[in-house]
A and B are shown apart, each in its own frame.
Chain A
Amino acid sequence: MADYTKMWTDLGLNHENHNALLEYLGGAYQSIFMSQEKRPEGMSYFDFVISEAHGLRIKELCDEREAGRKVIGSFCVFVPEEMVLAAGCTSVGLCSGADFAQEEVEKVIPRNTCSLIKSFFGFSLGKVCPYMEVSDLIVGENTCDGKKKAFETFKDMVPNFYQMDLPQTKTPAGRQTLKLEFMRFLNQLEEMTGKKVTLEGLKEGIAITNAKRKALQRLATLRAADPAPISGLDALLINQVSFLDNPVRFTENVNKICDQIEVEIAANQGVKKAKAPRILLSGCPMAIPNWKLPTIIESTGAVIVGEESCIGERGLRNLTDDSANTIEGLIDAIVDRYFKIDCAVFTPNQERVEHIKEMKAKYNADGVIHYGLQFCQPYIMESFTVEKQLEKENIPVLRIETDYSQEDIGQLSTRVEAFVEILK
């Protein structure tokens, strides 16, 4: 890896903290990902992106900024990437999956806050996230109460925070809120770039984003095969990388790995044993490097065949209709597309349970593990409904509530192993 010290200094990263984080990431990646057997060849691209996630990729973003492009950081799949691209900007994900600078974090927000929120506070306070530092605008969306209220504190910690409101019901009034917020966001982007978004720009933004989603959908569909052609860990990683990488290059590489996987499937080859117990993961998103639960699951010999999650199918399920020929028409299409997202902040949210059932059938899963981050009220509340409704259809469910700490690995392993024993 090249020496990026100067770039990191210029971005204001804290060297000591940042080195500690990189060392941890490198070690975890080696032991979790590189130790897997028979990985598809095409994973080497994603391994490379991860190895350069704080290096070359940040350099690219710095170069883009040098050339006048703006970088838009966001925490959530509700921030419309089509618009970001249409405005000539670049979108990056800021969600964080590791505990960092916990003591500092607990000085500004309560200890009993979900790990995901604490994590981005920690990454910001510890000055370890180059994506946050390279962002010209940090978009926070009003999803759960935890994030919404935490942003009141976070907005004063960074110089470039933008808050996006979101509806909580799928009503006409809710759709109107989303539309007004998306239009306000588009104005914000136009103000930053000094340029008006054009019809062609929007068409192109939609085309790039849809192509990325289609590639990821293609990968998801291939995972229905038995033996599993790719591990759940690797598939999760690809989904995680989708939030960091250049979307066009990423799409090409996802399609490339899909081409290879199709050949393997045709030859009845896989990375796991045939008839290995198949798990559908459902619930909260897993941001890099939150690989704890998938690692435990796959170390039992089971394979994860799908993620019903924002970093997974919830974020890529729907395409944006590109048929309209006016700016207003395309904005409406974008609003319609995002309004379908079945995030647990919506009430009621029955479509999410239906999606879980659909995915269970589509990917031939034997059981569902519901992953809830501790103190994530929306998903933990829903986990009871999900469990009840799935059990009514004799689908085995295991509800897990955990955080980013490593202290419960022993107990989680016992529970996951026992669940896999039930499925065998």
Chain B
Amino acid sequence: MRQAGIDIGSRSIEVVVLENGRVVTSRQAISGHNPVERVKELLTDITFDSMMATGYGRGIVEVAFDFPTITEIKAYGTGAAALYPGIRGVLDIGGQDTKVITLDGKGKVLKFEMNDKCAAGTGKFLEMMESTLGYEKNTMGAMAMSGKKGVEINSMCAVFAESEVTSLMAKGCDRADIALAIHQSICRRAIGMIRRQNIGFPLMFAGGVANNPCMVHLLREALGEEVIVPETPHFVGAYGAALLAE
């Protein structure tokens, strides 16, 4: 029995295939402007008996391929509980949204919160700040680790934050210090969501942004509790979906 899960996010698409419960294939691609074509490409030489789609673009593949769908909230909850039995919560920061999910310890979602309209403090925000600061792609997190605390970014709006960053650079602030400040502001926002839900621990940090070492470090420091980061945090949604494919 080969169960597949696909997570169509705003920035990336992940596929996971399980055979008898074990991961045999996992792939990732950029969503781009035509996610349906991307899904076709990703699935070309993959065989599966059942499929479950999740993520922001699940509706698109439901229409195009007739795949059943679940929300990414359920997918992350299921994936996290399977990877780490007893987990009590998930923080998922993806390309355009942030979710905090309270679990019952067995993978059932009890409560969740998710940002509304604005994509402030998500993966896309980090990408934009990375380019404003002139860093290579996916390097800002590591660079921010060497930053010194003291600089503050107050705006969570990508447009205003960009002008804040520009004026800090003009003032001569160190790039790494500014990068650290950006991570701190995102972290504060995530912690606010976590505290509001009065979540239990251990907590899993998943989604693409969990690959960022500075975010992980700041989150652990601020929470002072056990924060689990799986090996491939961006695959947790697709993995959860695959587990639910019947």
Please tell me if the beta carbons of A421 and B73 are within 8 angstroms of each other in the complex: yes
A418 to B115, CA, bound (A): 14
A414 near B117: Cβ-Cβ < 8 Å = no
Which residues of B have CB within 8 Å of A415?
Answer: 112, 114
Residues of B within 8 A of A421 (CB): 70-71, 73-74, 109
Q: Is the CB of B74 within 8 A of A418?
A: yes
B31-70 near A? 1/0 per residue, CB < 8 Å = 0000000000000000000000000100100000000001
- Residues of B with C-beta under 8 A to A402: 116
Interface size on B, residues (CB 8 A): 17
A401 engages B116 (CB within 8 Å) = yes
A411 at the binding interface (Cβ < 8 Å) = yes
Task: Report the minimum CB–CB distance from A256 to chain B (whole Å).
Answer: 38
CB-based contact A422/B109 at 8 Å: yes
Contact: B71 with A418, CB < 8 Å? yes
The 8 Å CB contact of A411, one of B59, B97, B108, B111, is B97
When chains A and B are docked, how far (Å) is the Cα of A421 from the Cα of B110?
A: 10
Residue-by-residue, is A6-19 near B (CB-CB < 8 Å gives 1, otherwise 0)?
A: 00000000000000
**Is B14 an interface position by the 8 A CB rule?**
no
Taking CB atoms and an 8 Å cut-off, the chain B residues in 55-114 that contact chain A are 56, 59, 70-74, 97, 108-112, 114
With contact pairs A421-B109, A422-B109 given, residues A411 and B114 touching in the complex (Cβ less than 8 Å): yes
Q: How far apart are A300's CB and chain B's nearest CB, in angstroms?
A: 10
Known contacts A421-B109, A422-B110: A408-B116 contact under CB 8 Å: yes
Return chain A residues, CB-CB under 8 Å to B114: 411, 414-415
The secondary structure that dominates the A interface is: helix
Least Cβ–Cβ distance between A278 and chain B, in angstroms: 18
- A95, B241: Cα distance in complex, Å: 43
In the assembly, what is the distance between CA of A414 and CA of B54, in Å? 10
**Does A152 touch B at the CB level, under 8 Å?**
no
Contact A408/B117 with A418-B112, A422-B109 known, Cβ cut-off 8 Å: yes
Query: Considering the chains assembled together, what is the distance between the CA atoms of A422 and B108 in angstroms?
Result: 8
In B167-223, the 8 Å CB interface with A consists of: none
Of A396, A401, A407, A414, the residue contacting B71 (CB under 8 A) is A414
Asked whether B117 lies within 8 Å of A407 as measured between CB atoms, the reply is: yes
Q: How far is the CA of A292 from the CA of B73 in the complex (A)?
A: 22
* A414 B73 Cβ-Cβ under 8 A: yes
CB of A410 closer than 8 Å to a CB of B: yes
Q: Which residues of A contact B108 (CB under 8 A)?
A: 422
Interface string of B114-142 (1 = CB under 8 A from A): 11110000000000000000000000000
Report Cα–Cα, A401/B70, bound state, in Å: 23
Docked pose: A396 CA to B102 CA in angstroms: 13
Contacts of A422 in B (CB 8 A): 108-111
Q: Which of A148-172 contact B (CB under 8 A)?
A: none
Q: Tell me, yes or no, whether A190 is within 8 Å of chain B by CB.
A: no
- Say how far A380's CB is from chain B's closest CB, in angstroms: 13
Residue among A396, A407, A414, A417 facing the most chain B CB atoms (10 A cut-off)? A414
Q: How far is the CA of A411 from the CA of B116 in the complex (A)?
A: 7
Contact indicator B73/A410 (Cβ below 8 Å):
no
User: Separation in Å of the B6 CB from the closest CB of chain A?
Assistant: 16
| Known A408-B117, A411-B116: A418·B56 in contact at CB below 8 Å | no
A408 to B71, CA, bound (A): 16
Closest residue of A by beta carbon distance from B76 = A418
Residues of chain B with a CB closer than 8 A to A417's CB: 70-71
A401 CA to B109 CA, complexed, in Å: 21
User: 1/0 contact trace for B153-170 toward A, CB 8 Å?
Assistant: 000000000000000000
B74 touches A414 (CB 8 A): no
A396 to B114 alpha-carbon distance, docked (Å): 16
Residue of A nearest to B117 (CB): A408
Give Cα A402–Cα B114 distance, bound, in whole angstroms: 13
Contact between B110 and A414 (Cβ–Cβ < 8 Å)? Answer: no
Greatest chain A CB density within 10 A among B71, B72, B108, B115 is at B71
- Residues B109 and A418 in contact, CB atoms below 8 Å apart: yes
Once the chains are docked, how many angstroms separate the CA of A410 from the CA of B112?
16
A402-B118 Cα distance, complex, nearest whole Å: 12
Q: Who on chain B is nearest to A400 by CB?
A: B116
Q: Smallest CB-CB separation from A397: which chain B residue? A: B111
A165 and B186 CA atoms in complex are apart in Å by 45
A401-B116, A408-B116 known; A414+B72 contact, CB < 8 A? yes
How many Å lie between the Cα of A176 and that of B97 in the bound state? 50
Known: A410-B56, A411-B97. A418 touches B116 (CB 8 A): no
Which single residue of chain B is at the shortest CB-CB distance from A407? B117
Measured between beta carbons, the chain B residues less than 8 angstroms from A401 are 116
Contact with B along A393-405 (1 / 0, CB 8 A): 0001000011000
Q: Which residue of A lies closest to B56 (CB)?
A: A410
Return 18 A-B CB contacts under 8 Å, by A number: A396-B111, A402-B116, A408-B117, A410-B56, A411-B97, A414-B56, A414-B73, A417-B70, A418-B71, A418-B73, A418-B74, A418-B109, A418-B112, A421-B70, A421-B73, A421-B109, A422-B110, A422-B111
Shortest 8 CB-CB distances between A and B: which pairs? A418-B73, A418-B71, A417-B71, A408-B117, A421-B74, A414-B71, A422-B109, A415-B114
| Further contacts, 10 of them, CB under 8 A, given A407-B117, A422-B108 | A396-B111, A411-B114, A417-B70, A418-B71, A418-B74, A418-B109, A418-B112, A421-B70, A421-B71, A421-B74
Chain B residues within 8 Å of A, Cβ to Cβ: 56, 59, 70-74, 97, 108-112, 114-117
